[in-house]
Amino acid sequence: MPDSRLVRLAQVLVDYSVNVQPGERVTISAHTPAAPLVEAVYERVLERGGHPNVLLIQPGLAALLLRRGSDAQLAYISPFMHATYEELECLISLGGKSNTREMGGVDPARETIQRQARAPIVDKYMSRTAAGEFKWVATEFPTDAAAQDAEMSLHEYEDFVYGACHVDDPAVDPVAYWRGVSGEQQRLADWMKPHDRVTVRGPNVDLSLSVKGRTFINADGQRNMPDGEIFTGPVEDSMEGWVRFTYPVVAYGREIEGIELKFERGRVVQASASKNEPFLLSALDSDAGARYVGEFAIGTNFGIKRFTKAILFDEKLGGSFHMALGAGYPETGSHNHSSLHWDMICDMREGEIRADGELFYQGGVFKV
């Protein structure tokens, strides 16, 4: 008998996050360890009258392509990927890797070839999302590998994941919970709307940026599950100052620690890291947009109480902000295009954020 929490998670993903309608075509993309959640989501899509299409990702194949494939093979875009991002109505992505470090020994230059080839697909899915033509959500199925990264037992990690998604208590309606989150976050997003210059200051950051004419998006469980952030795309040439990210970045099977960036006129002009610095620098040189910020966000989820090395959870940490270098989301007003989108997180429990001089956030607490 399946875990009842898993069944409730499938219902939230299908009914609330992407709100599958009769006749809509839904890609369920998943790593093979997530098979129990795939089945639950598949069944719920059928119950809603949708047309489920399953793409299973076998462990090790992505790394095998990067290690053994030719440049032409790295740049090849599968017709299944084209169909999902350019034609179908919905995508439900179910993470759940059995090895979170399988990309660790891959040459970064080969990953750059693949990212650059996929840039038009990234642009397409972002533009379709902004136009309301494409609905998608990503979540994580708990695995031993992710539990080890988070320094938990599998049982503890399952409790953490299902608790963060608010599907762990049968007496609580998770959809009602996320709708409540949505209302409060929309109030914060609306408060930011008329402002221009944002300053972010604390022990690890001294930044200023413009959000004039940009939209703050209320991330309330309709793109990520769990969720909990408000974010925008800053004016591309406005970022000034420096930041030291207090949490490591885990990307493409590598852990990059101690990242420090300096910005001038929106662009990263200095970058360093205490671990895997060459990989960081390689990513920054992926293309013209990789050194600009596509996303500025404030985490609002205080139910996520610890760093897990899984970006889906970590970027939502209450008492933090994060920025993504590279591609911005068109619905925010961002014009930054890149094959890269890397989220980097900074603790703000001893910092403050002001908008046109007005105190918005201090010590991890919103002040408006």
Residue type at 317? L
Last residue of a domain, one of 165, 197, 214: 165
The tens digit of pLDDT for each residue in 39-51 reads 999 999 999 999 9
What pLDDT is recorded for position 198?
Answer: 98
Tokens 């070839």 belong to which residue? Answer: 113
Q: Confirm whether 172 is domain-assigned.
A: no
Could you tell me if 231 and 319 lie in one domain?
Answer: yes
The tens digit of pLDDT for each residue in 75-132 reads 999 999 999 999 999 999 999 999 888 887 888 889 889 989 998 998 898 899 989 9
Q: Confirm whether 227 is domain-assigned.
A: yes
What pLDDT is recorded for position 13?
Answer: 97
Could you tell me if 211 and 282 lie in one domain?
Answer: yes
Could you tell me if 230 and 323 lie in one domain?
Answer: yes
38-65 in b/e form (b: 16+ CB < 10 A) is bbbbbbbbeebebbbbeeebeeeebbeb
Last residue of a domain, one of 114, 137, 165: 165
Could you tell me if 188 and 117 lie in one domain?
Answer: no
The tens digit of pLDDT for each residue in 320-352 reads 999 999 999 999 999 999 989 999 999 999 999
Q: Are 339 and 329 in contact (CB under 8 A)?
A: no
What pLDDT is recorded for position 252?
Answer: 77
Could you tell me if 88 and 234 lie in one domain?
Answer: no
Q: Confirm whether 250 is domain-assigned.
A: yes
Could you tell me if 98 and 152 lie in one domain?
Answer: yes
What pLDDT is recorded for position 192?
Answer: 96
- Name the residue range of residue 347's domain: 183-366
Last residue of a domain, one of 165, 194, 223: 165
Got the DSSP string for 220-259? SSSSBSS--EEEE---TT--EEEEE-SS-EEETTEEEBS-
CA–CA dist 162, 177 (Å, integer): 14
CA separation (Å) from 169 to 67, 120, 175, 268? 44, 41, 12, 45
User: How many domains would you assign to the chain?
Assistant: 2
CA–CA dist 84, 28 (Å, integer): 10
pLDDT < 70 positions in the chain: 1
Q: Confirm whether 79 is domain-assigned.
A: yes
What pLDDT is recorded for position 260?
Answer: 98
Could you tell me if 40 and 135 lie in one domain?
Answer: yes
Q: Confirm whether 247 is domain-assigned.
A: yes
What pLDDT is recorded for position 1?
Answer: 61
| Residue count of the chain | 368
Q: Confirm whether 138 is domain-assigned.
A: yes
Q: What is the CATH number of the domain that holds 45?
A: 3.40.1830.10
Could you tell me if 189 and 318 lie in one domain?
Answer: yes
Q: Confirm whether 178 is domain-assigned.
A: no
CA–CA dist 299, 219 (Å, integer): 10
Q: Confirm whether 130 is domain-assigned.
A: yes
